[in-house]
A and B are shown apart, each in its own frame.
Chain A
Amino acid sequence: MRGLGLALVLVAAFTIVLGIGGLPPRLDPEGPVHTHVGARYAERGLEETGLRNLVAAVLLVYRGFDTFLEVVVIFTALVAVLALPSGVIGGTSWREPDAETSEPDAETSESGDRRAAAVVDRPDTGVPVSNVVGFVVRLLAPFIAVFAAALLYRGHVTPGGGFQAAAIFGALFIALGLVLGRAKADRLVPRGVRPYLQAMGPLAFALVGLLGWRLTGAFLGYPSEASAYVLREAMVVAVEVGIAVGGAVILARLFQALEGR
């Protein structure tokens, strides 16, 4: 295995060195990367999208469908983790846990599987959190929330945007869950609304896309007239909020599932 691995690495390194040697010189403002599609974004991006942050303009407006599929990917990750058999990965049901007592074995699983599941005990997650940590988290929580909201809202102008806000919101849920205890943290986001919240990213995109089609004749189009500025802004914000809320809930639930809840 070791020899094979080394050989593979050497072959890969050799091939890549040969290949990247043929790339056009980097940093050259006249290179193909900077004179084709990117150049147009830099020239007309602000005028066409109203977003000062060109990365946000690419993500949301020019190449919105990529971002739609990206949101679908993290949704898929959540579904994938919840799809694993219960007993090990927690929270298999994404609604209220059903009173499911018998878990029939699959055609593929063996009797050993059942045994293994019985032996596995839920991990001890009730680690006491020190007072200092508890205090700090409680103290910082509002500030973290504001920071995340700012990242979201200012994403048009400064670096930041939906996903970054989602990651920070998600981290906040998780920290609060550790400090407040599960029961209280669970109440922050009631179980009943979770299926709706985790679906928000793809749904926001689909709805805004449809609206865009109605207005401009192109799916995921944004009205470009100056008079429709407010509407366009509202559509962009709707998508960003969808990404942030959906992403945050999904990240928090991934955490819970891996933790064994």
Chain B
Amino acid sequence: MSAAFDVVLLVFLIATAITVARSQDLIAAVVKFGVYSLVMCLVWQHRGAPDVAITEAAVGAGVTSVLFLLAIARTERAEKR
């Protein structure tokens, strides 16, 4: 059960990372990055690191995403190809 959960989390993690890389709308990319960070938090919680999980949720997912969104608001939203 636990092992299966692990595998699902890891696969989901990789999938989110790929969607971050692929989305051309930067706001979407940042939101997906937030999701990626939150999933990473779950992984860490699961690996016996609750301190790091809380920090990643607050700093990695929270603060980083907000700072990114501010920067997007002042630059461009679409990634050009």
Contact = CB atoms under 8 A, between A and B. Distances in A.
Q: Note whether A and B contact each other (Cβ less than 8 A).
A: yes
Interface of A: 53, 55-56, 123, 151, 159-161, 163-164, 167-168, 170-171, 174, 251, 254-255, 258-260
A164 B63 CA distance: 11
A259 B70 contact: yes
Given A123-B74, A159-B50, A170 B63 contact: yes
A255 B66 contact: yes
Contact of A159 (B54, B59, B70): B54
B51 A55 contact: yes
A251 B51 contact: no
A164 B54 contact: yes
Contact of B58 (A53, A55, A164, A174): A164
Given A167-B55, A255-B66, A255-B67, 8 more contacts: A151-B54, A160-B54, A164-B51, A168-B58, A171-B58, A254-B67, A258-B74, A260-B74
A229 B53 CA distance: 30
Contacts of A259: 70
A161 B52 CA distance: 11
Nearest to A259: B70
Size category of the binding interface on chain B? 10 to 19
Nearest to A174: B66
Contact of A167 (B53, B58, B74): B58
Interface in B24-81: 50-55, 58-59, 62-63, 66-67, 70-71, 73-74
B63 A159 contact: no
A170 B62 CA distance: 11
Contacts of B74: 123, 258, 260
A251 B64 CA distance: 10
A251 B54 contact: no
A164 B73 contact: no
A254 B74 CA distance: 15
29 contacts: A53-B51, A55-B52, A123-B73, A123-B74, A159-B50, A159-B53, A159-B54, A163-B55, A163-B58, A163-B59, A164-B54, A164-B55, A164-B58, A164-B59, A167-B55, A167-B59, A167-B62, A167-B63, A168-B58, A170-B63, A171-B63, A171-B66, A174-B66, A254-B67, A255-B66, A255-B70, A258-B67, A259-B70, A260-B74
